[in-house]
Structure 1
Amino acid sequence: MKTVILIPARYASTRYPGKPLAELTQRDGTRKTLIQMTWEAALQVPDIAATYVVTDDDRIADAARGFGADVLMTSSEARNGTERCAEALAQIDADLIVNLQGDAPLTPPWFLTALIERMANDADAQVATPVLRCDAKTYAMFVEDRKADRVGGTTAVFDRNRHGLYFSKEVIPYIDPGKLPDPIPVFHHVGVYAYRPEALRAYTGWPEGELERREGLEQLRFLENGATVACVEVDARGRLFWELNNPADVPRIEAVLREA
């Protein structure tokens, strides 16, 4: 399959305006923007035909071109990364589109490779997305965010075929805090998607759903319209994975970068 990576990035984030241009301190003390780090992560994925930053904002586009990225400009009408990727679809030729959102610079390349392999071998899947079993540290971060009334990462539940049942910003399934099992049955949803082109085209024809609107999770539109979303369990191989959802996540990610 001819696979293209798209990195949708918007400036007007509700929780963190200007997030793609936020600078993070690297292990060597230098600073890089979130969008540059995500671009460099995408370049580590093998057998990709092309990689583009996709945005409607000239500030992001200029910054991306400044570090050598190819850029696709879209309108400001896109409400989420999937809609932005669907709009960019008209400008590219691909059999599979991977959406590596611009707030996940810690995404290892093998996460994306696992999605591509799943889409090649699961004819029923219209979309694939990674899930990562929580260790005690990550689970504690989820619980800490909810106690502090912060909207942090997303959790996922799926059926026996690893097809998604639901995604939520709440921590699901519920666990009795006095009986934390091992392994922990909570899966962190990694905000990366692989789509077949026809799934992206269908997405833009569906109205925003009630669950999507309440949770603020774009992938729920697929589930609300009966599309099959394959949840691909991945292994972090000892790394801590976390997205940059709020300003409070900056020190968490910088701590991981220092330990890399």
Structure 2
Amino acid sequence: MSFLIVIPARYASQRYPGKPLAMLRGASGAEKSLIRRSWEAAQAVPGSPRVVVATDDDRIRAAAEGFGAEVVMTSSEARNGTERCAEAVKRLGGGFDVVVNLQGDAPLTPAWFVSELVEAMRAEPSAEIATPVLRCDGAALNAFLADRKAGRVGGTTAVFGHDRSALYFSKEVIPFTSQAYAAESATPVFHHVGVYAYRPDALAAYPAWPVGPLETLEGLEQLRFLEQGRRVLCVEVEGRGRAFWELNNPEDIPRIERMLAQMGVE
């Protein structure tokens, strides 16, 4: 099964302008941009996928080409990463069985998350989109709750049915639980990891669908699939001892740098 990895990146983020070019210090103290670290995460995925950075900004294009990435320029009208991926695939001419959206703010994404998504799409032909979910331990859940209490937009959570079809995604912590959990204990909350695998037909159709009220309220692009009645497959993945966090706010940089240091990532 051939697959393409697209890393959508835009400069004009409302919450964090210029985020793709934010510098992150690795284990040795060397700094690399967020977009470069995300590209290196994509390069680590087995199967020799083609990897492209999709952007509408010349500053990001120059930075990405500077470290050797293939860049596809897209319009500034793309409303989210999925629309940008759809435009990039159209410009490339298609020809892929699966398109993976590895968002440019998730440099800690393990390679096996992507591999397991592609395998899930192979195993379940009815799924039009698949995305990984990671069960939170008590420490991760407490970090989510602390972000919300402080008014920060932290990670996204997901709930899904017995067949692994997504029921909902939210920037709030769902499902509600009043129980206290030890740092290393399992919780009923699943962290939605910002990676998507799409069937090309579903991806091509996406930009023409109207933006619904849930997507508008939550600011979550995957909700457009649910509002259209499309099946989104949640693939539970294991962290295998790897720390995972997305860069949503400037305050996340020290947290991610600590994780890079702990993993020995240069």
Q: Partners in 1 of 2:110 and 2:243 — Cα distance? A: 11
- The alignment's C-alpha RMSD in Å is 1.2
Partner of 2:16: 16
How far 1:18 sits from its partner (Å)? 0.2
Partner of 1:104: 106
How far 1:25 sits from its partner (Å)? 0.6
Task: Tell me if 1:208 matches 2:239.
Answer: no
Contact 1:2 1:48 in 2 (8 A): no
Query: Identity across aligned pairs (percent)?
Result: 62
| CA deviations over 1:142-201 (Å, ceiling 9, x no partner) | 000010011111000000011100000000000014577953000000000000001111
Q: Partners in 2 of 1:195 and 1:49 — Cα distance? A: 15
Contact 1:23 1:33 in 2 (8 A): yes
Q: Partners in 1 of 2:181 and 2:76 — Cα distance? A: 47
Contact 1:4 1:48 in 2 (8 A): no
Q: Give unmatched runs, 5+ long, in structure 1.
A: none
Contact 2:159 2:168 in 1 (8 A): yes
Partner of 2:235: 232
Contact 1:5 1:48 in 2 (8 A): no
Task: Please list, as runs of the form range in 1=range in 2, the aligned pairs for 1:116-131 lying within 5 A after superposition.
Answer: 116-131=118-133
Partner of 2:74: 74
Task: Please list, as runs of the form range in 1=range in 2, the aligned pairs for 1:52-67 lying within 5 A after superposition.
Answer: 52-67=52-67
SS at match of 1:4: strand
SS at match of 1:185: strand
| CA deviations over 1:7-42 (Å, ceiling 9, x no partner) | 000001111100000001110010000000000000
| CA deviations over 1:95-127 (Å, ceiling 9, x no partner) | 110000000000000000000000000011000
Task: Tell me if 1:258 matches 2:257.
Answer: no
Contact 1:211 1:220 in 2 (8 A): yes
Partner of 1:138: 140
- Note closer, same or farther for the CA distance 1:141–1:123 as it changes in structure 2 (3 Å cut): same
SS at match of 1:167: strand
| CA deviations over 1:21-77 (Å, ceiling 9, x no partner) | 000111001000000000000000011331000000000000000000000000000
Contact 2:138 2:186 in 1 (8 A): no
Q: Partners in 2 of 1:25 and 1:109 — Cα distance? A: 21
Task: Tell me if 1:244 matches 2:247.
Answer: yes
- Note closer, same or farther for the CA distance 1:197–1:144 as it changes in structure 2 (3 Å cut): same
Partner of 1:188: 191
Aligned partner (choices 151, 155, 158) of residue 156 of structure 1: 158
Between stretches 39-48 and 124-133, larger displacement belongs to 39-48
Contact 1:162 1:231 in 2 (8 A): yes
Which residue type is aligned with residue 63 of structure 1? Answer: A
Q: Partners in 1 of 2:187 and 2:86 — Cα distance? A: 35
Partner of 1:167: 169
- Note closer, same or farther for the CA distance 1:226–1:31 as it changes in structure 2 (3 Å cut): same
The count of aligned residue pairs is 260
Contact 2:181 2:187 in 1 (8 A): no
Between stretches 172-181 and 57-66, larger displacement belongs to 172-181
How far 1:240 sits from its partner (Å)? 1.5
